[in-house]
Each structure stands twice: as structure tokens, then as C-alpha cells.
Structure 1
Amino acid sequence: MPLPQSHPPSPSLSTPQPAVTPARPLEGWHVGAWSPAMAWAAAFIAVALLVWFGTLGMRHLLGPDEGRYGEISREMLATGDWVTIRYNALKYFEKPPFHMWVTALTYALWGVGEWQARLCVALAGLAGIVMSMLATWRWFGARAAAFAGLALLAAPMWSVAAHFNTLDMTLAGVMACVLACMLLAQHPAASASARRGWMLGCWVAMGVAVLTKGLVGVALPGLVLVIYIGITRDWRLWRRLHLASGMVVLLAVTVPWFWLVSARNPEFLHFFFIHEHWQRYTSGVHARPGPIWYFVPLVVGGFLPWVGLFPRLWRAIGTPPVDEPDDVAERFRPALLAGIWAIAIFVFFSLSHSKLPGYIVPVIPAMGILAGVALDRLDVRAWRRQLGGMAIVAACGLLASPVVATLNANHTPNAFYRAYAIWAAAAFVVMLLGIAAARWLLRRGVLPSVAVYALGMYLGFTAALVGHETVGGPASGADIAPLVQQKLTPGMPFYGVKMLDHTLPFYVRHPLIMVAEADELSFGTEVEPNRWLPDMATFAKVWRNGQPAMAVMSPETYLALSPTLPLYVVARDWRRVVVTNVPGPAPTLASR
């Protein structure tokens, strides 16, 4: 399928030239006066921000990602080593440190906790929305910018992902800033100093992206730029990138940490660049395969509230900006660049031999910009059809919500899913109420209707997210952590016996010593073999030596070891058993 026209055909006497549609102002918005529309907009933003930040601490951390990065940041702060990344006291070089730096700094300011662990991703998601709106406003007007912000707010792949402590969301937020700064720098009305400033900001953002998740921070924007120039033949763009000063800025941001960590850890360079980049992309070394269409349902589901607009998003790629210059040489195609950004990144990760859902999040801001352009040109009839289609989807979801109560996946007890089914049903009810309100508000225009619809979708998906605590909370180990902390002293060995528990170390504020199975910490155990116990015989000997110690293991491992080792149960849940080698009275919780 060919891309939409990236520029209009050359003028001729026989080809009439359509006039560029001017950007429409915000409905009901009167500049210079505090209008009712401005009051409603302020109230909308206040509610969205309250929900955005107010729900960060309503759930316990989930494994593996949330617990892993929460604990890495805690150990970073506790040890004072901000260069060599460690997880359970073992070297962990799979990812660069920026996300963990921000989280550790958050811990230093406000203490160690769940909302603090998620603050980095929440800020990254919000920055992605704001910067995408700013770029859209500059090129397509305030109304399109408002639609772009609403599209991102309502897209679960963005708003929900911004509430999970993962590096993918931090990377996506920074990459959204890369795209937005690039678009702002290329506006024809930008002064030379403004263009330079935005481009240097773009280079800084790419450096932060590299420090967040590696070379994709420059490889993906570079791929997009090469494709864009190849399609448009806009060779002059190279001169507007400030390549020399930009490279200096990029190296100034990235080189210090890479130099320090390499100097202190000679094994870092090969593991990080060969194993974690080349082998991860070209082979199944991480055992995360997926078909070529792996990300298709994720993009559809992640942008579900706007899936009916997908054909219009495609057409929006060819939309010219407002006040396009007459000089063909000066024409820059912001919508085309956004479209290439989404398509190129989607294809790049689809071709990879290692796939995880979070990899595709960086395409969402570009889709949000295109959605803003498409919605800005949507009439009432087309929007009414979109509302009707989404009402059918939400109604089907409500009718299907009892199916959740029948699940028994990943060894999770069915009782937890039965509780979550109520939340799932409530989420679809909220969505349906939002759709009904949006349909009623159509009499006031498309923008108010879209705003209420987006808020309904956002609140519905947030309800589903908060309700997931019924499933994720019991799996986190947070409930048994107080019992463990009653007996676990700071210097006491705490063993993970054939089990890497990704959440309990965060809640008890104590790293594990791996036993028999290193799991994803195999690199750390190879370079520091003295920091783990490689087999059960060694563990049994250490366990019996009389030094007080604790261990966490699966219920199956506990049953296998209890006949031969002194195991005194401290706490247990459906996933884990925590034991000690020192007999004593069972600890109790004063608050329970």
C-alpha cells in the first residue's frame, strides 16, 4: 500500500489547487476572558491530573518489572553506588541507569514506597502528552492539539502504561519528546535561535533515551529520519539538524556513565552491547519469541478508543500543516514524519526475535498526533458513528466480563479473578456512561463530546487498572512482608531458594542471595560467583551452620526440603513460603 502524498502536486494551469483548511479555534474559547469553556477545561485538567497521580500508590508492585526496578533503585540509594547497577547485590547490566536514577532520587526525597517507584513513569507519560500537544499546536492549531492530548489520555497503551514501573514507559515518554522537539525545530516560522534550541533539546532527549534503554534511543529516530528524507528528498533537512553541536550534546549526556561503568566493570561493554543489543534483536537468546503480527493486537487494543479512526489516521499522514509556506523547498511534512515514526518503529520491533508488549509503546505519541489531526477534521455525523461503534464494543465487554470470573491463569487462585470480574464490569459501565454523555454533548460541538468521551475511557481503564489489585496485590508479597520484617535483621542472610522473588525484597527492604537457580541474574553470578550459592548441598551446609538466616521458596520446594532441613515457617501465601533456621514463637502483626 503506497504512502499518502507527502506533498501536493506542482501547480499547473490545468490542476486547481485546493485551499488549505485553516485551523478551527477551540469551541467556546474566548481569548482574553475567563469563559465557561476555560473553566470546564481547567476542571477537566484538574480531574485528569488528580486521577493520574492520585492512583499511583493504590496498587502493590507487580513482578517482574515493577518489583525489579523498584528494588534496583532502592539498592542504589542504600549502597550509594549510582554507577554499577545491582539487583539483589549482583551486577545487573541489562539496562542503563536513568530510570533507576530518577526513582532513587524520588526515594531520597519522599521515602521508599509504591507511588514513589511509579513517579518516573507517570512524569514521563505526562511529558509525552504535553510535548505532543505542543508540537501539534505549533503545526496544526490549538484545536488539533487538544484532540491529540485527549487521544493519548484515553489510549490505554499510554495512560495505563504510565502507571507501571517499567523502563518501556520512561523510554516512550522521552522518545515522545524527541519527536516533538524535532517537529518544533522544523517549523518554518521558528527563528534560528529557536530552531537551534529545539534541536539541541532533541539531542538531549536522545541522550536520555540512550541512558534509559540503550542504542534504540538514537537508532529509532535515525531510522525514521532516513526514511523520511528518502521519501521527501528533503536533503536540506540534514543542515537543519545541527549535527555537530548535537553530537557533542549527545556524547556529553551519555559518555560519562558509560565510561565510568566500563572502567569499574571491564565485562560491561561486551555484555551490554553484544548480548543485550545485537543478540537480543537477532536471536532468541532471551526466549521471547513472537509471530510477525505480535504487536498488531497490542496496537489495536492499546489505541482501542480510537480504533474506528484508523483509516482517517492513515489519511492524516498526508495532511498539510496550517499556513504552509509557498516555497516547496521550505515545506516540511510533520504528519508524514509522525506516520513514518509510528510505522517504522512498529516494523522494527515486529522483525525482532525478542518481543515484549512494552516495546511498542513509543509508537503511541505519533498516533496521538495523527489522531489529533484526524479529529480536528471530523464532522458530527462521523463522530456519532464512532461513538456508536465504541458503545457496541463496551457493551460486549460488559456482557463478557463474567468470563473473567472463570479464569485460573498463571497458577493464580480463581477467587482473585472472581473479585476482579466486578472491577472489569464496572470499568465498562464507566465507559458506557462516558459514551452516553458524549453523545448528549454533541449538540455543543465535537470537541466537548470528544473530551467527555476521552475522560470516560480514561476513567474506565483506570478503574480496571486499580481493580487489578485484587489479582496483583496478593501476588506481591506485601501482605506477608511485615511478618518477615519482624525477624529479618539488616545483616541476616536472606536466601532465594530456587526462586527469584521480584517483589518481596522491595517490601522487606532486603536483597536476596540466590540459591541453585540464578534465573535472570546468571550474568551477575558468573562475574561474582562468591555472591550466591550454586547448589542445594552448599545451601544445606550453610543453613545448618548455626548463623540465623531466612529463606523464601515456593510451596513445592518447601515440601521437598522440610523432611531434611530445619525450616521454621515465618510467613506464607499462595506463591511463597518464608522460613528461618532459628526456632521461636510465630510472629504476629499487632495491627491485625
Structure 2
Amino acid sequence: MFRAQVQQALCPGDRGQEPVSIIVEAGAKATPKRTQLRVLVFVLAAALPAVAGQLGRDLLPPDDLREAEIAREMWAGGDYVVPRFAGLPFVEKPPGFQAVVASAYAWSGGPTTDAARAVTAGFALLTLVAVFMLGKDALGVEGAGLAVAFLGLSSRFCRTAHTVLLDNALTAALAFALLFLWRGLGQRDLRAKERAYTAAAFALGISFLFKGFVGPVLFATGSLTYLAATRRFGELRSALRPLPIAAFLLPVLCWVVPFVEQASPDLVREFFIQNHFGRVFVGYASNVRPFYFYALDLWRAFLPSAALLPFAAFSAFRKRHTAGGGAGIFFLSFALGPLLFLSLSKAKDSVYALPVYPALALLVATWCEEKLELRGWWVRKGTEASGFAACAAGSAAIGATVFFGGFSWSVALAIGALASLAIALLWLLRQGDLRSVCAASAGLFALAWSLWFTGPLEKREVGRRSIREPVEAALAIAGDRTVLLLDPSDGLRGASSFWRNRTAEEVPDAASFARRLLEDPNAVGLFHMPARDGFLEYVRSAFTQVGAQPVLEAALPAGENRVVLLWGARPAGAARSYASSASE
């Protein structure tokens, strides 16, 4: 029996018809067991890089330490409404993600690195679940397998899954909203349609708890793009009924109402105005980038599937009005609309586009499903090229592991896995089973990413970026004294508190910092700065103004020409033991 599955994805709901799947006789031999095995390989290849190396991976600045410490202060103080960082209110985003991490601390018996990373990995896996379910509805089970592999093996998704960052949670919530929207569009029964839209709206409300209005706005831009492309504005009558609106408002108001009641007017203004409109129209000096930033970034961040994006996008647009073009234009709309909005915003960063990646993966999977059914000469050559690229990626990862860590039993196992998958890939190519070749290629890419996040490669990356050793050494010298921070980075804010399980105190200005050190012998100042900077001039002036003399207690190298400094103070007339200036 020969089988190929062609999705005649009518624009869901057009003329009252639902998406249908047609089975035709053509293509390579396929059996239910082989299909199940391929899908299993795709799913495992997508999930393995997201969980590999999570346990025991140190917290890195700035993101890991910031989010883990906000959650620790939430867990310690019991305030799940107004998040705090270094003892000060921190209202850049709603506290939904940190509340989940704080709950993980409570369940695990206290704040730990593994608990924070388990939450991050969990949200990444939830995103893969949502994408698989949507891919199965729109493309069939093999299309779903392709989609999760494209997403799970993309560079940005893998890296963010290993970062304690709220964008993982936002992406999961929006992926489920996309799933329920697709189901609602395909429903003919008005009650079933309303239930699906209600579920989508509730997922959007949850997304608000992770990153404020960012999630709902990104989803709205994708929805409007799709409605404009398909002229289906009548769907708004079902989407904007009271039940979906109430479902969206429920999680939003569960936080907004107590926040407005408890927070000061300045904090309320900071959250709603500065941290939303300010980011869009002003941005920050460190992340103001040109309009075309995401167009260039996707080539790197969506590897290894980025090369297929132009073909998939062009095909989806060209077939947008055809009977089989419903899935393509749906996913294209939810990729282009949000990307255009993000490109118009002043503040840009690669991770900000992560919520678009599920739509990108499904868009590429839609195009690949179509081409794998045609089985043309170019399809075979492209599949061969992907297989050889996967072999090269696996070989490079093994070579780098040996170079930095030497030969070991884990390397031997990796070599065995590489050889087995490469042999299977060559055999499948001779058999003409292109879908299974894709599955073997996914396994090889998963092997490469797993090696990157474990063993010598992981230790090298973490060792290069971690500030734990010098900060813990400085905290040991500080003992039970109060640690003061002045204009610290997010990494130092988190490190000085999380690894001590005691909140450091951030001082608002240099004069208060110098005065506090002078008047309180039980206080000590902690800095993390480039080694060449020495003691900052404006801080030196503040000490002079309050009649104090800074005393260097410790200077600990922190890698990359940086240093962790521990400072005390004494009256200016005391014997000089000052040992910090740019020239000394």
C-alpha cells in the first residue's frame, strides 16, 4: 500500500466547510508502524534538546539570575502581586512567570536552581505540545511531527529553553491560543465555535500575566492579518461575544485589580505607561535596533530551518485563495503580522520574536508536507542536503566535545549514535523514504544540540559567563553583614541575593551609599564592573562629600576583564588603606 496525505486545508469555515484530509495512493511505501516511529523520532528530537543539561546548570547573568531572584523574593515575602527585585518594586512585567517559579520553590522545599530550570523546561515542552496538537489538526500527524522538530531544533528555541526567562511561558500561552483559534475557525456549530474562542481568549489572558499587553497585541496583529488576507471579518462576531471577552478578562483582572489597589500611583503608571508605550516608542539604549533587525536575525535564530522560510512564505501567499491554502495563509499571517509589529517597535531583541516561532515552524511544515508528497528531483536533493548537514552538525559537536574535554564514554556513545543514524540515513535514501530521512536528520540535529548543552561544551559556556564563584567568595567575606548595591546590573542584583538566600539592599544614589557605609559598620558595598574602571568617579566624589574614605576589602577576578569588588568605609581622617583608582 502506498500512501500520501494531502491536506486540502480549505480556509477553515469557508462555505461552512471544515478542513478535510484526503488520502491518495502515491509516493513512498508507508506503514502505520513506520509512520508512528517517524513521529516518535520527531517528537523526541524536538524535546531532547529542551531538557538536556537542565539539571545542575548554573544560573547565568542577567536573565537567569534576575527571574530566579524575583521569584525567590516572592517566595520569601509572600507577595505575589507586586514583584520585588533587590528589595525594590519591579513592575516591568506582571508576576505570572515568577509566581510559577516561586510555587516551584515552595513545592521543592526552597529556592533552587533546578526548580527554576524545571519551570523553564516545562513551558518549552508545553509549547511543543500545543504545536503538535495544532499541526495534527491542520496537517496530519506527520506534519505535526515535522512542525515540532522545526521548532524544537531551532537555535533560538533551544537557547531560550535553557534560560530562566518569561518568554518561554509567553510562547506556550500564545501557542495554545493559536491552537484554539484554529479549531474555532474550523467549527460550523456556533456554540462549539464560541467555546473554542473562549479557550483562545483565556489563553490570551494567561499570556498577559507573563508579559503584559505584549502577548495579546502580538496575537491581535496576527489575527487581523489573517482576517484581512481571507476577508473573514465575520468571525469577529463570534470572537467578541461576552463569554470570550469574560474569559480573557478573568486572569487579567485577577492581577490588575489587586495590583492597582496595593501599588502606588507611580508604580501603576510605570507599569502601564513606561513599560509598555515606553518600550514601543522609546526602547532602551542597549536594544534599539533598526527596522530590519528581525529579518536578518531569523536567518541565524531559526536555523536549521531558516533556509526554507522564503519558499514556505511565498507558497503560502501564492495559494492563499486556493482550496488547499488555508493552513499556509493562517500560519503566514501569524508570522508576518507579529514580526511587522515587533519591527516597528524601538526595543528589539532576538528573544522578543520567540512567540512567532510556533507559526514559523508550522508554516515550514505545511510547505514541506506538500513537497514531500510531490517527491520531485529538487525535493530529494534538498532532503539529501539536510541529511548531510545534520551529519556535519553531529560530527562537529562530537569533535568540539573531544577537543575541549577529551575522550570519554559519553563521547563513545555519541559516536555510536552518530554512526547508527548516519547508516540509517544512507539506507533510507537508497530506499527513497524521504520522510524517514527527515526523521533521521532530526535525530542527528538533536544529538548535536544535546552535546552542546551537556558535558565539556556546556561547562565551557557556563564557565565563561558565570559570576557565581567570585560573588560567592565576596559574600563569604561579607559574612552576616548587610550587602549594599549601587546601580547594579541585573546579574549582580540576582547573584548577591539568590546565592545567599538573603535579599541585598539597593541604595538609590551614591551619597546615600557612601553615608550608609560610613554610619553602619555592619554594611558592605558590592560591585561588579570592568577591571579597568576602578572606583567610579561619581562614587568617589560622594564619599568625599560625606567625609568618608572608601576601603577595599576584596577584589576578585570575574572573567572577561571584569572584577567583583567589596567595599567598606571609614572616616576621611583615618589612616589610608584606600586601594582603588583607575591608575592604581
Fold similarity call, TM over 0.5 = yes
Equivalent in 463, 466, 475 of residue 476 of structure 1: 466
Asked if 1:337 corresponds to 2:330, the answer is: yes
Q: Is the 8 A contact 1:60 1:472 kept in 2?
A: yes
| 1:94 corresponding residue in structure 2 | 92
Contact preservation (8 Å) 1:394, 1:432: no
| Residues 47/358 of structure 1: CA separation in 2 closer, same or farther (3 Å cut) | closer
2:80 corresponds to which residue?
Answer: 82
Aligned mate of 1:493, from 479, 482, 490: 482
Which range moved further: 257-266 or 308-317? 308-317
Task: Give the SS at the match of 2:550.
Answer: coil
* 1:376–1:391 distance in 2 versus 1, CA, 3 Å: closer
SS in 2 for 1:76: helix
Letter in 1 for 2:449: F
Contact kept in structure 2, 1:23 and 1:143, CA below 8 Å:
no
Bigger mean CA offset, 147-156 vs 382-391: 382-391
2:365 is aligned with 1:372: yes
Q: What CA distance in whole angstroms lies between the structure 2 residues aligned with 1:96 and 1:119?
A: 20
Residue 421 of structure 1, CA deviation: 13
Matched, 1:271 2:270: yes
User: Are 2:150 and 1:154 aligned?
Assistant: no
* Residue 516 (structure 2) pairs with residue 549 (structure 1): no
C-alpha displacement at 1:7, in angstroms?
6.8
> Could you say which residue in structure 1 is the equivalent of 2:550?
565
1:576 maps to a residue whose letter is: V
Letter in 2 for 1:448: S
**Matches of residues 262-411 of structure 1 in structure 2 within 5 Å?**
262-265=260-263, 266-317=265-316, 333-379=326-372, 381-387=377-383, 389-390=385-386
Given the superposition, is the C-alpha separation of residues 284 and 559 from structure 1 closer, same or farther in structure 2, using an over 3 Å criterion?
closer
Given candidates 60, 67, 73, the residue that maps to 2:58 is: 60
Q: Which one of 210, 213, 216 corresponds to residue 215 of structure 1?
A: 213
User: Shift of the alpha carbon at 1:80?
Assistant: 0.8
Deviations 1:3-52 (A, max 9, x none): xx9979x99xxxxxxx986489997553xxxx466467557756764553
User: Structure 1 332/210 Cα, relative in aligned 2: closer, same or farther at 3 Å?
Assistant: farther
Q: Does 2:115 match 1:113?
A: no
1:98 and 1:156 map into 2 onto residues whose CA distance is: 26
CA distance in 2 between partners of 1:229 and 1:195 (Å): 16
Partner of 1:123: 122
Asked whether the equivalents of residues 85 and 93 of structure 1 are also in contact (C-alpha less than 8 Å), the reply is yes
Alpha-carbon shift at residue 70 of structure 1 (Å): 0.9
Contact 2:550 2:569 in 1 (8 A): no
1:294-328: CA deviations, max 9, x gaps?
Answer: 1123211122222332243124525989x97xxxx
Evaluate the alpha carbon distance shift between residue 105 and residue 513 of structure 1 in structure 2; reply closer, same or farther with a 3 A threshold: same
Secondary structure of 1:566's aligned partner: strand
CA-to-aligned-CA distance 1:138-174 (integer Å, 9 cap, x gap): 1222221121122112212223222211122221221
1:74-101, Cα deviation, whole Å (9 max, x unpaired) = 1110111111111100111111111111
| Conserved? CA contact 2:383–2:438, under 8 Å | no
Match of 2:434 among 446, 471, 475: 446
- Shift of residue 73 of structure 1? 0.5
User: Does the 8 Å CA contact 1:175/1:206 hold for their aligned counterparts?
Assistant: yes
Q: 1: distance between equivalents of 2:428 and 2:159? A: 26
Give how far 1:465 is off: 4.0
Contact 1:484–1:571, Cα closer than 8 Å, also in 2: yes
In structure 2, what residue type is equivalent to 1:157?
R
Instruction: State the TM-score, normalized to the length of structure 1.
Output: 0.77
Determine the structure 2 residue equivalent to 1:459.
447
Return the offset for 1:132: 1.6
CA contact (8 A) 2:390 2:444 kept: no
Q: RMSD of aligned C-alpha atoms?
A: 4.2
The alpha-carbon distance between structure 1 residues 540 and 57, as it changes in their structure 2 partners (threshold 3 A), is: same
Q: Distance in 2 between matches of 1:228 and 1:47?
A: 31
**Structure 1 unaligned spans of 5+:** 12-18, 325-330, 405-417, 515-531, 584-592
2:564 match: 577
- What secondary structure does 1:569 align onto? strand
Unaligned segments of structure 2, at least 5 residues: 1-8, 571-584
User: What is the distance in 1 between the residues matched to 2:24 and 2:132?
Assistant: 15
**Does structure 2 conserve the Cα–Cα contact (< 8 Å) formed by 1:178 and 1:206?**
yes
Q: 1:556 to 1:20 in 2, by over 3 A?
A: closer
Which amino acid is the alignment partner of residue 76 of structure 2? A
Give the CA deviation at 1:55.
1.8
**CA-to-aligned-CA distance 1:447-499 (integer Å, 9 cap, x gap):** 22112212222332343344254243354332245545545556x31122453
Deviation at 1:339, TM superposition (A): 0.5
> What's the CA shift for 1:511?
2.8
- 1:162 is aligned with what amino acid? A
Note if contact 2:394-2:418 (Cα within 8 Å) is conserved in structure 1: no
In the alignment of these two chains, the number of paired residues is 525
Conserved? CA contact 2:86–2:494, under 8 Å = no
**Is residue 181 from structure 1 mapped to residue 180 from structure 2 by the alignment?**
yes
Aligned pair in 2 of structure 1 residues 568, 68: CA closer, same or farther (>3 Å)?
Answer: same
Tell me the SS of whatever aligns to 2:203.
Answer: helix
- In the TM superposition, residue 293 of structure 1 has moved relative to its aligned partner by 1.5
Q: How far apart are the structure 1 equivalents of 2:212 and 2:283?
A: 19
Q: 1:510 aligns with which of 470, 489, 502?
A: 502
C-alpha contact 1:59 1:473 (8 A) present in aligned 2 = no
Distance 1:356 1:91 in 2: 24
Question: In structure 2, what is the Cα distance between the partners aligned to 1:340 and 1:384?
Answer: 29
Equivalent residues of 2:526, 2:564 under 8 A apart: yes
- Secondary structure of the residue that 1:94 maps to in structure 2? coil
574-583 or 263-272: which moved more? 574-583
Cα distance, 1:120 vs. partner? Answer: 2.8
- Contact kept in structure 2, 1:391 and 1:432, CA below 8 Å: no
Task: Describe the SS at the equivalent of 1:579.
Answer: strand
Q: Does structure 2 retain, via aligned residues, the 8 Å contact 1:316–1:373?
A: no
CA distance in 2, matches of 1:375, 1:447: 10
Partner of 2:135: 136
> What is the alpha-carbon distance in structure 2 between the residues aligned to residue 256 and residue 444 of structure 1?
56
Cα deviation for residue 361 of structure 1 reads: 1.1
- Bigger strand fraction: 2
Q: Secondary structure at the match of 1:317?
A: helix
**CA spacing shift, 1:42–1:94, aligned 2, 3 Å:** same
- Which residue of structure 2 lines up, in the alignment, with residue 233 of structure 1? 231
CA change 1:70–1:431 in 2 (3 A) is farther
Give me the whole-angstrom Cα distance separating, in 1, the residues matched to 2:415 and 2:306: 19
The 8 Å contact of residues 160 and 461 in structure 1, kept in 2 or not, is answered as: no
